Amino acid sequence: MSQRKRQLSLSVFVQRYGTHGHAWRQPHAVAGGRPDFNDWAKIVKLLERGKFDFAFFADFVGQGGHDVRGGARRPIGDHFEPTALVAALAGITQHIGLVATINTNFNEPYNVARRLAALDHITGGRSGWNIVSSLADGAARTFGIKDGLDHDQRYERAGEFVDLTKKLWDSWDDGAFDHPDKETGLFFDPESAHPVHHHGKYFSVDSLLDIARPVQGYPVFFQAGNSDVGREFAAQYAEVIYAAAQTLEEAQSFYRDVKGRLAKYGREPDDLKVTPGLFYHIGESRQEAQEKYESFRDAVDVTGLKHFFGVDISGFPLDGPMPTHLPEPANGKGRWRQALSLAKRESLTIRDLILRFTAVQGHHVLIGTAADIADQIEDWFIHEGADGFNMKPSIVPESLEQFIDRVVPILQKKGIFRKDYEGSTLRDHLGLKRPGNPFTNRCVSVPSRQEEIASATTAT
């Protein structure tokens, strides 16, 4: 891949109503009802109009059935399983990347390799996999997991999981099925097949994948991890990592640390994009923007809240200081430490901290005019606090429309964000290399679905 000018990446953590769990209660939010694909399609089409790199779909699988009343304040029931949603969205979009979350604890590598290869072909090379290895209590109850692996073991298992899916994708050469020979009766050359014989600590597989190698070689790997083990996992496997930083200094420290770990795995700094979450409120004036944020923050409902990051805080007053002696949670260790550090630095009460991590999910907050926000995005980008941002719109679609119509043109004028898509795959958008098959040690150029359609039309 030829060198290109460093370019800002923009994406969105797509949520039906908006960033925090009570966005559905805003006066102008249309809440309730059964899942409606058109709601999600409108959001993603809007992002494609804004030339965003990708839309990201989380999946908090496994609600558990022990606390229905306690969960009644959270909007559920209108979300689609991410891989099914991505497949449907592929048909109504042309350029934007589509990223699905799949948890390694509740799946098998063969099924995931098969499903994601299919998605990459369906999307024409626009798919991504958000690799998750967390194990929430509700999910453990849902899948009957009584003795789950600990934090480090889950990462270890996830690493073997990814290694095995890559082997399965590489079990066929690029173009293995492109030249069936009717005269000899050979649909493919047996030399293009590379059966997988994997017998590891967590998985044992002897197989060939039953679908052609993905258009992108592999879907783009995404991961979010702030703990030391999570950062090491990202350095070895991830191509885009989600981060959370409150200040430019924190962002730069994370950026340098993670990218500094890549060399030991034979990787270069540009092989991993660091994209912190970014919450924003845009106003015609800074005062108007601040008022919007305060109104939104004050709408957060902490009624009945007993746990923070899975840690029991029910015995402590909400308006008292955050205790520092509590045990670390099994999931989200890095975010938990970040929260405690923030509470100490800014003398926050438990209520303050909950608001910061519920209303904005612990991410950096930009409040101001469109020009203010564009300037601060440029500052973090230029000074290597971020390669891009995963946007957290407060109210959907209003906040997205404001960002696209007001901020994006300024970023384009600054020359740091695209005016149009230049490639056909998600790897093209992000400037990432397409992995070749190690059995052939070369990268074969595979036409995109759009190119195939154009070629067929011309031939006709």
Q: Rounded distance, CA 223 to CA 227, Å?
A: 12
350 within some domain: no
At residue 226 the predicted structure's pLDDT band, cuts being 50, 70 and 90, is: confident
Region 155-166: mean pLDDT is 97
pLDDT at 65: 57
Count other C-beta atoms under 10 Å from residue 425's C-beta. 25
Cis peptide before 409 (omega within 30 of 0): no
Judged against a pLDDT cut of 70, whether residue 435 lies above it is answered with yes
Q: How far apart are CA 186 and CA 193, in angstroms?
A: 13
Q: Has residue 450 got a pLDDT over 50?
A: no
Residue written as token pair 């991830």: 238
Assigned domain for 186 exists: yes
User: Is 175 inside any structural domain?
Assistant: yes
Identify whether 301 is part of a domain: no
Please report the pLDDT score of residue 2 as a whole number. 45
Least Cα distance to 346 among 312, 311, 322 occurs for: 322
Q: What is the mean pLDDT of residues 238-245?
A: 93
Task: Please report the pLDDT score of residue 458 as a whole number.
Answer: 46
Query: Any residues with CB less than 8 A from the CB of 325 and at least 6 apart, and which?
Result: none
DSSP letters spanning 273-298: EEEEEEEEEE-SSHHHHHHHHHHHHH
Is the pLDDT assigned to residue 401 strictly greater than 80? yes
pLDDT digits (tens, 9 = 90+) for 74-93: 777 778 999 999 999 999 99
CA–CA distance from 42 to each of 10, 14, 81, 93, 214 (Å)? 18, 11, 18, 10, 27
Contact 40, 121 (CB under 8 A): no
Nearest residue to 391 (alpha-carbon basis) of 46, 13, 7: 13
Three-state secondary-structure class, residue 349: strand
> Which domain does 181 fall in, by range?
9-293+364-459
pLDDT band, very low/low/confident/very high, at 455 (cuts 50, 70, 90)? very low
Inside any domain, residue 60 = yes
Name, of 4-8, 10-14, 17-21, the range with top average pLDDT: 10-14
395 forms beta bridges with 18
Handedness of CA 434, 57, 411, 259 (dihedral sign): negative
Is 307 among the domain residues? no
Which residue did the predictor score with more confidence, 301 or 183? Answer: 183
pTM for the whole thing? 0.87
What pLDDT was estimated at residue 454? 46
Residue 133 has pLDDT above 80, yes or no: yes
Q: Does residue 349 form part of some domain?
A: no
Minimum mean pLDDT range among 86-100, 228-242, 321-335, 422-436: 321-335
Buried b (16+ CB within 10 A) or exposed e, 139-177: bbeeeeeeeebebeebbbbbbbbbbbbbbbbbbbbbbbe
The rounded distance, in Å, linking the Cα atoms of 208 and 189 is 14
The residues with which 35 forms a beta bridge, in sequence order, are none
Q: According to the model, what pLDDT value does residue 24 have? A: 79
Q: What does the H/E/C string look like for 358-419?
A: HHCCCCEEEEECHHHHHHHHHHHHHCCCCCEEEEECCECCHHHHHHHHHHHHHHHHCCCCCC
Residue pair 277/250 in contact (Cβ under 8 Å)? The answer is: no
In this prediction, residue 30 carries a pLDDT of 76
Q: What is the DSSP letter of 72?
A: T
Our measurement of the distance from residue 58's CA atom to the centroid of its chain's CA atoms, rounded to an integer in Å, reads 7
* Count of positions (residues) in the chain: 460
pLDDT in tens, 176-219: 999 999 999 999 999 999 999 999 999 999 999 999 999 999 99
Model confidence band, residue 34 (pLDDT cutoffs 50, 70, 90): confident
Does the pLDDT value for residue 11 go beyond 70? yes
Burial 242-261 (b: 16+ CB within 10 A, else e): bbbbbebebbbebbeebbeb
Whether 331 shows a pLDDT value over 70: the answer reads no
Cα–Cα distance measured from residue 93 to residue 87, given in angstroms and rounded to the nearest whole number: 11
Q: What is the DSSP letter of 27?
A: T
Nearest alpha-carbon partner for 293 in 408, 372, 385: 372
- Is the pLDDT assigned to residue 369 strictly greater than 50? yes
Number of independent structural domains in the chain: 1
Residue 313 above 70 pLDDT?
A: yes
- The domain spanning residue 397 has which CATH number? 3.20.20.30
Q: What is the pLDDT of residue 447?
A: 43
Residue 431 resides in a domain: yes
Query: Is pLDDT at 385 greater than 50 in this prediction?
Result: yes
pLDDT at 453 over 60: no
**Locus of tokens 């000018």:** 5
